[in-house]
Chains A and B, each alone.
Chain A
Amino acid sequence: EDKVVQSPLSLVVHEGDTVTLNCSYEVTNFRSLLWYKQEKKAPTFLFMLTSSGIEKKSGRLSSILDKKELFSILNITATQTGDSAVYLCAVAGRSAGGTSYGKLTFGQGTILTVHP
């Protein structure tokens, strides 16, 4: 059974702090790892990672994948109150007996709270 575990489950920081969110996975037929941000509504896409060691960046957010150790990290520097959200990690793979890579397994999410 595919499994994605995120840590920590919740995190409280102050504006300006740097945070690191972790995602480890056990997935057969791995295709890619994705990060989403969910505020009080639907998730929005942040990053997709398919290759080890290549950092993806978007403003103050960055992420990297280690396919050997089966984990990814999401870094947020100089946090702002607007970064407060649930951060979801998901892994894309192939369903058992399937031929396509449309199966997504999500972690439980990390609740990030940024205080002013």
Chain B
Amino acid sequence: EAQVTQNPRYLITVTGKKLTVTCSQNMNHEYMSWYRQDPGLGLRQIYYSMNVEVTDKGDVPEGYKVSRKEKRNFPLILESPSPNQTSLYFCASSFAVGQGGYEQYFGPGTRLTVT
């Protein structure tokens, strides 16, 4: 089954404790992206990756890191989480954007709470 998986689905952590949210897709998609969703603010893009080893900032990259060492995986790293990073996070993937591929498939979301 074609899907985007995220782990964990729910996480409660404390300020400053490094964490990684994993994202994996099995559709051989070139493009992957991370978003956060907050009430009243809609979806905001954190980082995106056009392909392996190619990443770029979205609108809200501060406090986050990403890497794309393999095509299927795009982990999101919070080196020192703070309470303002409490949010619902989505990972998404699609075929190459250059070919107009914005039909993104979204993962189920990770609800993160930082206390």
Query: Is the pair B108, A2 in contact by a Cβ cutoff of 8 Å?
Result: no
Number of interface residues of B (CB under 8 A): 29
How far is A68 from B106 in the complex, measured between Cα atoms in Å? 31
Among A31, A44, A100, A105, the most chain B Cβ lie within 10 Å of the Cβ of: A100
Please name all residues of chain B whose beta carbon is closer than 8 Å to the beta carbon of A48 when the two chains form the complex.
100, 102-103
Query: Is the pair B33, A42 in contact by a Cβ cutoff of 8 Å?
Result: no
| Mask of A90-116 contacts with B, CB within 8 angstroms, 1/0 | 101001001011111111110000000
Which chain B residues (43-77) contact chain A, with CB distance < 8 Å? Answer: 43-45, 48-50, 54, 56-59
Query: Is the pair A103, B42 in contact by a Cβ cutoff of 8 Å?
Result: no
How far is A44 from B97 in the complex, measured between Cα atoms in Å? 17
Please name all residues of chain B whose beta carbon is closer than 8 Å to the beta carbon of A41 when the two chains form the complex.
108-109
With an 8 A cutoff between CB atoms, is A76 at the interface?
no
A25 CB to nearest B CB, Å: 13
Please name all residues of chain A whose beta carbon is closer than 8 Å to the beta carbon of B33 when the two chains form the complex.
102, 104
